[in-house]
Amino acid sequence: MDRQPTVAPHVVFLPFPAQGHVKPMFMLAKLLCHVGGFQATFVNTEHNHALLQRTLAAGDLPAGFTFLSLPDAVPHDREQQQSSISTVRELFNSIRNSKPDFRRLVAELSPTCIIADGIMSLGFDVAVELGIPVIAFRTFSAVCAWVYFHLRDLIEQRVVPIPADADMDQPITSIPGLEGILRRRDLPSICRHGTPPPILNFFLRETESMRRASGLILNTFDGLEGPLISRLSTIFPKIFPVGPLHGLLSNVVKEEEPLTASNGGLKEEDRSCMTWLDSQPSRSVIFVSFGSLVALTEAQFVEFWHGLVNSGKPFLWVVRSDSVLGEDEVPSSVEVLSGLKSGAARDGSRCCVVDWAPQVEVLAHEAVGGFLTHSGWNSTVESVLAGVSMACWPRLSDQQVNSRAVSDVWRIGLDMKDTWDRSTVEKTVRELMEGRRDEIMKSTIEMAGMARGSVEEGGSSYHNLEKLIVYIRSMC
């Protein structure tokens, strides 16, 4: 790719303040600096800014990359509580309150354009008010982005909110391109009974707001989601699928940066699991991680523990300090966790538990043969590129849609949504790692090949990054 250091365009990045949003946007900002010679100003909340600084290694940042932060309007122990709907709502409100600060900051910087998260409409508001071009970065899958653009129709058709007593297996027939694929249970979690109307309205409003952007960036690739990307291009004629971004970034900067660069991680990684993985046979380990937000009840936690032990497979489990919600009827999570950790120590070869893993490296490790995941979009594309098949247990937002695509469209995994009893966990892990292994691995390997091809020079995502650079330069 040509580096043109003439007039450097300046892009302000505005991610939604959560791990799954900060990380891909951070990687895109780095790519635009590395490849386009751009200046990037990455705007975090103060809390996330402090977290990100802890994980950045020397040499992590390219020339032209700077940070600015917006004040937090939520308590700093949000990490401990952010799975609760009320805290999510609080977060949304606080973001709206940041608008005057963001407006002031953009007015001072007068950038070439803003790249705003698809659920940060204040970015679009400010851009329109100040007459600055704005591009949306939706950090979800194309399939889920497309579903969100049909939320209003689903509400008008009285399909959403899904009633408490509804048959969750009933097909959804009214979303073009997804007929025969989605059932009620595969719609985003906010469509389910009990979601407070303000949350549903928030997503309706944010989705509509994205239409003001002049283009759409997605962390996906043509080989995976071509048909849905085409449909989204009817809304956004300028569309840039540049995923998997971590693959693109590692291709572009491979000689300049160590593999261990944190790339937008907000938590410190426990690398001890890499040594444990080195001692495991090839493709034997199931990696278990439910991302940065999903929390289990203690009952669910105990069922997963038994299911994993009964599967007979070695497992590496990410148990964050805020992974388990309190409940009275079952042993406290502290007891379960200490039992789990001492069990791990006694039977060192069978399992390893860490608070936060270097996930991209774990997935690329030779010993990993399967991924039990919550189907967050970053985790999904990371697994796709690594060629690791998935057992999916989705809980929140886009995860229900992603897991359905993994199992029934791309056929690179199994979907166990809405079930968590120990026998289902055991059976699903065994099917993934033994029973249906050959069939699922065949499509997983094919998809990984397409993912690698897309981020190589001449591949679709590489080409789309070049197009994005040309497009932003044209705004100068």
Active site residues: 21, 117
DSSP state of 39: E
Stretch that binds ligand UDP, among 40-48, 288-296, 328-336, 465-473 (CB under 6 A): 288-296
Stretch that binds ligand UDP, among 202-210, 248-256, 352-360, 453-461 (CB under 6 A): 352-360
* Through-space distance between the first and last CA atoms of the chain, rounded to whole angstroms: 20
Kindly give, in sequence order, each residue whose CB lies less than 8 Å from that of residue 108, ignoring residues fewer than 6 positions away: none
Helix (H) or strand (E) holding 81: helix 78-81
User: Are 357 and 270 within 8 A, CB to CB?
Assistant: yes
Told to check if 265 binds ligand UDP by CB under 6 A, we report yes
For residue 474, give Cα distances in angstroms to 8, 40, 218: 11, 17, 20
- DSSP-assigned letters across all residues of 63-80: TTEEEEEE---S-TTHHH
Told to check if 359 binds ligand UDP by CB under 6 A, we report yes
Segment 373 to 412, residues that bind ligand UDP, using CB under 6 A: 376-379, 382
User: Are 455 and 247 within 8 A, CB to CB?
Assistant: yes
Stretch that binds ligand UDP, among 94-102, 148-156, 180-188, 290-298 (CB under 6 A): 290-298
Q: Which is nearer to ligand UDP, 26 or 462 (CB)?
A: 26
Q: Which is nearer to ligand UDP, 289 or 300 (CB)?
A: 289
Compute how many residues bind ligand UDP; rule: CB under 6 A. 19
Which of these, 128, 131, 124, lies nearest to 207 by C-alpha position?
Answer: 124
Residue 415 backbone phi and psi in degrees, to 5: -115, 115
Told to check if 20 binds ligand UDP by CB under 6 A, we report yes
Told to check if 360 binds ligand UDP by CB under 6 A, we report yes
The residue from 48, 112, 289, 400 that contacts ligand UDP (CB under 6 A) is 289
Told to check if 293 binds ligand UDP by CB under 6 A, we report yes
Stretch that binds ligand UDP, among 37-45, 154-162, 289-297, 330-338 (CB under 6 A): 289-297
Say how far apart CA 38 and CA 29 lie, in whole Å: 9
Provide, rounded to whole angstroms, the least separation between the CB of residue 373 and ligand UDP.
7
Residues that bind ligand UDP (CB under 6 A): 18-20, 23, 265, 289, 291-293, 318, 356-357, 359-360, 376-379, 382
